[in-house]
Amino acid sequence: MIDSKNIRGLKGNSYFEFQCDNCGKNHKKLVSEIRRWMRRKKSDSITSFCSRKCSVLFAHSKRDIKYVEKVCEGCGKTFQIRDNKRGRVKRFCSRKCADRNRHTEEMREKLSNSAKKPQGIEGIDYEVKISASGRRRIIRLVIKECIVCGGNFRGTRNRKTCSEECYRENLRRIGKERVKAMTSDEFQHLVDRGKHGGYGHRTKAKCGIICRSKIEARILNFLTDLAIKFDYEPDIPETNKVADLLLKVNKKEYYIEIDGLCRGVKNTGFDWGEKLDHYQDLINRSVIDGFLVVTPSDFKKKFQKLLGV
Residues 53 and 94 in one domain: no
Average pLDDT over residues 233-253: 84
| CATH number assigned to the domain comprising residue 214 | 3.40.1350.10
Domain span at residue 89 reads 67-100
Residues 21 and 35 in one domain: yes
Q: Tell me whether residue 150 is in a domain.
A: yes
**0.85 cut: is pTM over it?**
no
Residues 147 and 174 in one domain: no
Residues 78 and 14 in one domain: no
pLDDT at 202 over 80: no
Give the C-alpha separation, 247 to 292, whole Å. Answer: 10
pLDDT at 87 over 70: no
Residues 182 and 76 in one domain: no
* pLDDT of amino acid 268: 40
* pLDDT of amino acid 267: 37
* pLDDT of amino acid 253: 86
Residues 190 and 270 in one domain: yes
Name the region of 134 (left: φ>0; alpha: ψ -120 to 50; beta: rest): left
Q: Give me the percent of the chain exceeding a pLDDT of 90.
A: 1
The number of domains in the chain is 4
Q: Tell me whether residue 179 is in a domain.
A: yes
SS (H, E, C) the chain: CEECCCCCCCCCCCEEEEECCCCCCEEEEEHHHHHHHHHHHCCCEECCCCCHHHHHHHHHHCCCCCEEEEECCCCCCEEEEECCCCCCCCCCCCHHHHHHCCCCHHHHHHHHHHCCCCCCCCCCCEEEEECCCCCEEEEECEEEECCCCCCEEEECCCCCCCCHHHHHHHHHHHHHHHHHHCCHHHHHHHHHHHHCCCCCCCEECCCCCEECCHHHHHHHHHHHHCCCCEEECCECCCCCCECCEEEEECCEEEEEEEECECCCCCCCCCCHHHHHHHHHHHHHCCCCCEEEEECCCCHHHHHHHHHCC
The radius of gyration of the chain from alpha carbons, rounded to an integer in Å, stands at 36
pLDDT in tens, 130-156: 665 667 677 777 888 899 998 888 888
| Selected residue with higher pLDDT from 87 and 138 | 138
Q: Tell me whether residue 53 is in a domain.
A: yes
Residues 190 and 75 in one domain: no
Residues 201 and 242 in one domain: yes
pLDDT in tens, 252-291: 888 888 765 444 443 344 456 677 788 888 888 888 888 8
Residues 245 and 282 in one domain: yes
Cβ atoms < 10 Å from Cβ of 48: 19
